[in-house]
Structure 1
């Protein structure tokens, strides 16, 4: 085994062995209670504006429900009882990781927030956003290969080096780790199966390959964690193994859902079919939106 053999979990203690003050957890809860409702309200207000601007086009209720579901999963992951448990129990951390980094991002991405923003903004502002989306930096960071490296690729760095213990040793580090899980999870879900505009995104077959690589890498990391190979996690062995099982099976389910979302967008091209002109957007400054 490796450092996972330790029968204690020091990442929730301060330098002198004292528990992390409750004030850090309380502040986190307050921020969540303020930020999540604000973001959800902004999404719903944008939906209302889009429906008023173009009642015929409207906005899918399923997309709104998807966003609400994603916000609910984030709340469940960050608020008690799971939120505090993630600081002291590796199984709680891994369950939180699955919700924040895989399940919530899929629902949030399927809610098409960028398309909603383009339709809700005035045409001049929508054109600026579109210009930004077509810029080289955004095109590169939203490529599936980059998204894969930032999401799945960083897991080995986190769990096979002292980085995990260092992050868990301070509330700010834990918060940054969760922010990375959420951002990289949303980025990968968008790059693979997002309904929002993604200039330069490869075809469905190529994205299936990247998703397959992610599935294999996830499984290898979970198996190495279960066996204690290269693991650098100061937690009881049974917690590490059960956390690895959560990662293995929970990751498989999330990635199958992502694959289903990707396959649902597959539209095989007909041989000899003439290319069709891009549809004009409604209320987005002439930007094609889906």
Structure 2
């Protein structure tokens, strides 16, 4: 969840970094009484995210700056569209510009990339339904989810951007769920510890509300993990053929997640194997900032 506290923390850190002792250029060049009106304009097509953060950046500089957001988070836009209007004291508008833009460009980039992954899954599933002469919506759509491969300090914002793009969030932190990965299993079984027994013991100690996910990298690990009580089995870096086999072995006894080597070119094929979730680190670690600009359209020299 994108909370007010999370937004405030990121904005305040951004402003402390960008204008630690004020904006000396604006203070020397622009009269204190000058007013400005500026528009946030898209230079390319995309999906909007980060409106609350964009507005908060200007409010933190000067509450007298008014921000009108035009699209809502999750709305698509085209190059040339005006996404927001900013109006108020010119010095304050210029001081908040870069922090507001940096964050919003980042969030829109993640939302836009996520939407492309979601669309690729949708197109594949629709094609399968058409080929089998099934009504639309017959096949459950595979979820596209993020990972913890986020920019340090920006996780809440980046995960919100994934949701803006139609994706889903994986666990937010190490504190949210039990997720036994390859390194955990390697350390656990190094002395000959039985995997199923260890997972069952863990299951007995877990609160009933805590989810248990276990990562496997071989088909022959699946039965032991299921016997241990896993709620989700993560098939990591499996080939498409092995994903099909893994889904068949699990056969509804747990949620099936696929990860590793996922790209826009492969996500549809992976979804067609029948997995429930595809986690994609690239949504956050490889998204580029979208090209947005804040253009002053009115400069009133005297307020």
TM-score (ref. length: structure 1):
0.26
Q: Which has the larger radius of gyration?
A: 2
Query: Which has the higher relative contact order, 1 or 2, with Cα contacts under 8 A spaced 6 or more apart?
Result: 1
Q: Which has the higher helix share?
A: 1
TM-score (ref. length: structure 2):
0.25
Q: Which has the higher strand share?
A: 2
